[in-house]
């Protein structure tokens, strides 16, 4: 059978390779040279089983299903409508003893009575074992160095975060001032709508902005390439794009050399090119995260604070004092804004209460249920609502027009539900009627009804 016979020599070579690897591992771990007989005694079970394992895995995976079925059919098995799992099980059982390869005899033919070859194999295995151990130790050492680098970089940015932000804040303030003086303001459009020509609106007015976030949304007038989900696009550039790059570039000039110098004092970075490359990668990733954090924090800064800061030369202590003062002032303003919003909300509540009074104020225990009927014209909205009203002990129909009120008045009475009529022009009281059809202006809010239907409610 074609494939089965093709697989057989391949399985033999794989078995030989695995036995050779086992000898390599066995000898490499021994500090003293063991005899070949020691190996046979200790690894006899492995040698007895390795061929069967390799052979069965190989034929199961490589021999096609149809060839397996044919092999079983020739040995009296019926395989029609038999699952793949059962076919594989039967096939493995039948080919288990197909031309067995004796791995132990093969290895004996190489080393029994050949002590010199066995000793050479031992020395070679020991050298390879030591090399692997040294490589593993080196990898462990590098891993510890890398973990140390990550912790060091994280701690550096944690300890220097405020100082770096003060530097970036000052640089940003100077750039904002320059842009307000030198740049043109454009009408806002969708950044991807490149077919729309930008229209100038004149110069920037600082009074038009409260925080930097509003300015960052404005268009610069230029077009730039952006990336999204692995694809490149062109769009109108915003000041957010410019300031994001500005902050990252500034940090990249300010931090890496200083940080790399500090790292070399703690780790073997200078001599280890891999660690040096890794350190730069970690620093760059941290710079990106810090830059994003700075952009978000700067977006909340008041434009007025930044414009004042632009005039003051950088001094760490002075700028820290100004920053803390600006933060406190910002918190105070936010608290005042929230208080003003709450005051206006309470004023609106009082105004509504003054206008509508107790009549429209629902109690906490109110069981009023509102049902909204929506739909196109002539879809049965009023019909269904009137049906519910008729079923109730009392009901009120409010119509926008006298004719509609009259129509419902006639309809309910014709259908056996006593109903009175009340409009601005006439009033018809029906004996023992608990339902009323009226125009909207005749509604009296102090009357109680089980169901009220408001037609064409606005």
pLDDT tens-digit readout, 92-126: 888 888 889 999 999 999 888 888 999 999 999 99
Inform me whether the pLDDT recorded for 272 exceeds 70: no
In the numeric block, the tokens 């140390």 are attached to 148
Cβ atoms 121, 23 nearer than 8 A: yes
Where in the chain are the domains?
2-113, 146-314, 381-454
Give residue 453's pLDDT: 93
Give residue 350's pLDDT: 82
What is the chain's mean pLDDT, rounded?
87
Inform me whether the pLDDT recorded for 402 exceeds 70: yes
Cβ atoms 95, 59 nearer than 8 A: yes
Please name the residue ranges forming H helices in 302-397: 303-309, 316-356, 381-391
- The three-class DSSP label of residue 2 is helix
Inform me whether the pLDDT recorded for 367 exceeds 80: no
Give residue 164's pLDDT: 93
The CA distance from 336 to 342, in Å, is 10
Inform me whether the pLDDT recorded for 360 exceeds 60: no
Mean pLDDT (whole number) for 234-255? 91
Give residue 273's pLDDT: 59
* Structural fold of domain 381-454: Rossmann fold (3.40.50)
Give residue 450's pLDDT: 92
Mean pLDDT (whole number) for 271-296? 83
Give residue 296's pLDDT: 94
Please write the tens of the pLDDT for every residue from 52-90.
999 899 888 888 888 888 888 888 888 787 888 888 888
- The three-class DSSP label of residue 159 is helix
Cβ atoms 172, 246 nearer than 8 A: yes
């Amino acid at each position: 059978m074609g494939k089965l016979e093709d697989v057989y020599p391949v399985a033999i070579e794989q078995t030989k390779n695995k036995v050779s690897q086992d000898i390599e591992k066995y000898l490499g771990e021994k500090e003293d040279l063991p005899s070949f007989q020691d190996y046979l005694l200790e690894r006899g079970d492995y040698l007895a089983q390795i061929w069967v394992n390799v052979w069965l895995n190989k034929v199961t995976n490589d021999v096609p299903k149809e060839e397996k079925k044919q092999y079983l059919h020739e040995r009296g098995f019926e395989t029609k409508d038999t699952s793949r799992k059962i076919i594989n099980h039967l096939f493995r059982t039948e080919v288990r003893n197909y031309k067995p390869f004796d791995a132990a005899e093969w290895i004996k033919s190489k080393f029994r009575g050949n002590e010199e070859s066995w000793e050479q194999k031992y020395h070679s295995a020991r050298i390879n074992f030591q090399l692997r151990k040294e490589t593993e130790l080196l990898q462990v050492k590098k891993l510890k160095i890398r973990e140390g680098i990550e912790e060091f970089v994280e701690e550096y940015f944690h300890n220097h975060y405020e100082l770096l932000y003060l530097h970036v804040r000052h640089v940003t303030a100077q750039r904002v001032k320059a842009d307000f003086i030198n740049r043109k303001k454009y009408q806002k459009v969708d950044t991807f709508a490149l077919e729309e020509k930008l229209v100038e609106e004149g110069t920037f007015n600082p009074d038009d902005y409260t925080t930097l976030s509003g300015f960052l949304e404005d268009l610069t007038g230029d077009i730039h390439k952006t990336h999204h989900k692995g694809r490149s696009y062109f769009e109108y550039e915003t000041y957010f794009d410019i300031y994001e790059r500005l902050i990252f570039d500034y940090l990249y000039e300010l931090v890496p050399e200083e940080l790399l110098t500090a790292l070399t004092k703690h780790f073997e970075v200078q001599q280890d090119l891999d660690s040096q490359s890794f350190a730069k990668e970690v620093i760059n990733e941290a710079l990106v995260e810090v830059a994003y954090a700075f952009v978000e924090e700067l977006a909340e800064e008041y434009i007025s604070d930044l414009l004042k800061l632009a005039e003051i030369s950088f001094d760490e202590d002075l700028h820290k004092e100004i920053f803390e003062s600006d933060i406190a002032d910002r918190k105070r303003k936010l608290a005042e804004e929230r208080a003003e919003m709450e005051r206006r909300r309470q004023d609106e509540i009082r105004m509504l209460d003054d206008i509508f009074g107790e009549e429209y104020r629902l109690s906490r225990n109110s069981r009023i249920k509102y049902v909204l009927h929506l739909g196109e014209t002539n879809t049965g909205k009023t019909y269904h609502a009137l049906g519910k009203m008729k079923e109730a002990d009392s009901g009120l129909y409010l119509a926008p027009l006298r004719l509609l009120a009259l129509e419902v008045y006639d309809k309910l009475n014709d259908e056996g539900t006593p109903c009175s009529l009340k409009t601005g022009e006439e009033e018809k009281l029906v004996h023992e009627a608990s339902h009323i059809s009226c125009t909207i202006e005749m509604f009296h809010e102090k009357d109680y009804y089980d169901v009220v239907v408001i037609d064409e409610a606005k």
